[in-house]
Amino acid sequence: MRFTVDRIEGALAVCEDSEGTMINIDLKKLPPDVKSGDVMAFRDGRFTKDIAATSERRAEISALQKKLLGKSTD
């Protein structure tokens, strides 16, 4: 299962699962460098960063921002 980190609130990461449900995950269970927008995979009882999915998601968001704003977001 995959989760996207929406935001960090104190000791919790507020995440959206692959079905759109929001859940809170204790930061102690996530990699120490986790940040908003990261895609996390849950396998074998562990959370790991899905680097490829995170990069793809960030590129899609950047392209959408450029299209909506009609300018570069760099």
Q: pLDDT tens digit string along 21-32?
A: 999 999 999 999
pLDDT of 70: 86
Q: Please report the domains of the chain, with CATH numbers, ordered by start residue.
A: 2-69 (2.30.30)
- The half-sphere exposure of 43 on its side-chain side, counting CA atoms within 13 A, is 5
Encoded amino acid at 6, one letter: D
pLDDT tens sequence across 31-72: 999 999 999 999 999 999 999 999 999 999 999 999 999 865
Q: What is the pLDDT of residue 3?
A: 97
Specify the pLDDT at position 74.
54
Q: Environment class of residue 5 by beta-carbon count within 10 Å: exposed (0-12), middle (13-18) or buried (19+)?
A: buried
Report the pLDDT value the prediction gives residue 72, as an integer from 0 to 100: 54
